[in-house]
Structure 1
Amino acid sequence: MITMWTDEKIHQFRKTLLNWYDQAGRKNLPWRQDQDPYHVWVSEIMLQQTQVNTVIPYYQRFMTLFPTVEALASAPEEQLLKAWEGLGYYSRVRNMQKAAQQLVTDGRVEWPQTMKELEKLKGIGPYTAAAIASIAFLEPVAAIDGNAFRVLARLFKIDADIRLPRTRQLFFEVGNQLIDPKRPGDFNQAIMDLGSSYMTAKNYDSEHSPVKAFNAAYQDGTEDFYPVKSKARPARLIHYFAVRITSPSGYLFEKRPKQGLLANFWTMPLYALTEFTEDPEADWQLAEMVTATEKRLKMDYGIQTTLKPLSEKAITHVYSHQKWQVIVLTGTLDTEVDVKRGQWQTLSEIAKKPQPKVQEKIWQHLRAHK
């Protein structure tokens, strides 16, 4: 049961929070220089799962390459993926382009101006829609992200599990009662800044927080208990074998299929353990997998060579639902060979193509074991 504040207390909270934001908020961030919905949108999508300092150079480069919604809508996908390279969660930028194409009608950009209408765009969920609507169009709707969950949970000692979908509506209703109707965008951004400074998940500093007088969890020393979040289901472990083959023509690379994980990215050949055994839980020997990979290389690419493990230590790469353990196998061809699929690429050629984070880790592993 949540006891909502009086109107007077809500008014005082808004005033205290916004005064602090006016004096100490991160208004120097490049996407906060105006209230352009395109700028807000791109920054919010980039900031999902990514730290602010990491996003800044990506955002600036992205805006140079795709300065308008029209430019984003018409960009070649390979250029788009290359610009996003390193940020991960590539479905975000693919969905952004689809949404941009939804926005462009007869050469003109038509922006929905409410949270409800913005949610109809591809890849825009409740949080992003609320952020755009409040910042760009001054709709008084609360943007509920990880920071807002944490701030509101501690202010009101909300013990609802934030991992449950129905909990978002509860926080949304609380946030909508608090939000300043005259400055909704600044209010939401102030909550973001508060959650990333004085009210972080760990090492928080509530003693110096501008809103400590309103923080119920701080008042009774229970901040560590909020927000309540049940444990996530562990990511599924998948073993992979990456194959680095060199020839006088360069490295063997291929473009991934149009669907599925790593769609349309360029990687060295990758084989999952499940391609060699029906039981992914069964014990397996590395020597057996090397032999199996050699056979598949001959069948799939027309390449016959002897492979050897670069190291028995696997590269670890974690997605939201999968945990990859990748062992790198290497082989060398002394003569040029026409391959059935894939392409021979020089280092300068492959550097221009979009590569996923796991491929960058493979490169790092190779450099470390020269």
Structure 2
Amino acid sequence: YPDAQAAINGQMENPLLETALKPLWACWRLLANARDKRGPLELNLPEKRITLDEQGRVTGVAVREQLEAHRLVEDFMIAANVAAAKALEAKKSSLIYRAHEPPSREQLVALKEYLKTFEIDFALGQVVKPETFNAILEKIVDEEVRPQVMEAVLRSQTQAYYGPNNVGHFGLSLGSYAHFTSPIRRYADLIVHRALVSSYGLEMPKPKLKDVEPTTGLTEAAIMKLAATAEAISRTERRAMEAERETTDRYIAAYLSAQVGQIIQARITGVQNFGFFATVEGVGGDGLVPVSTLGKDYFHYDQASQTLVGEKTRQEYRPGMRLELRLAEANPISGSLRFELPEGGSYSPDRFKHKGKPRSGKYDAGKRGRPGNIRHQGKKR
């Protein structure tokens, strides 16, 4: 509740202050201390909040506010998920875990090469833990550099998934973790609930209320299919996440369509040898600036630093860089955006007469990949 902290600070009266709020926050402080000791991956990934009017038209796009109360709920949910997993392990029960494996060596090598461009050392021989990445981020004080390094760390992580075998959760720095707190919208949680019902003898007959299902346990047939079930729900989760992203992109494109032709403040989110992607500051939505629109200079792509460098002008475009761009296109149907330089850089055939080759990288005009979600934040954890 928004007024909870005010009540605790004695700024207002609340009948639940002594009986509920103070004990709740005191307990959370213990959970927060335990979280800090185990050192989970700390990535500040703001979520977008889209507001609509009664006709369904987008009226605004803003960053969703993150309150301390949100972290309180998140930490209690994590504690419940851990408790459910350990309770089933104590009964030697089958269950579906939420698994997140450590980054692969290939991912870490790529991250090392990228961090080297910022003169940040990253030893490959060390035992990599979430706090290893946290320590890197804590060293960065430059507000322009920090977001791009954070995005690079996120890209280095593996995709979380569901599985019947316990491999731990690297991002949360937990040995046993199973989704338990959202049975309405996740089938994995329902599997865990049914396993708890079976393991602890909590079966109940069908209640007298109409349309209410009886409390049933996990059947032998369901246990035999756990691996296939985990694979299926992992696949549908990824599809749902992609659908959510595409929906958000369409809403943002619809919101920005009224600003086509205007100069906007943007930040580069990714660079390839065919151009760079940028997002509108404070709003979001990725759009491409094709390298063919950057003027007559020939741009080399440095894969290690993910930077485009002009051969004659030495102009650089790198992730995290803030700049002004003209919004050239915003398509609400596809959710795509396209930007161009304010001075109107245009296609020049001369640019392609250059015989030299970029220092690294191959042309790939496919859709820019998005990193898998590994962080417990709201509905994606």
Say yes or no: TM over 0.5. no
TM-score bracket for the superposition, by shorter chain length: under 0.3
Q: Using structure 1 for the length normalisation, give the TM-score.
A: 0.26
Q: Using structure 2 for the length normalisation, give the TM-score.
A: 0.26
Q: Larger helix proportion, structure 1 or 2?
A: 1
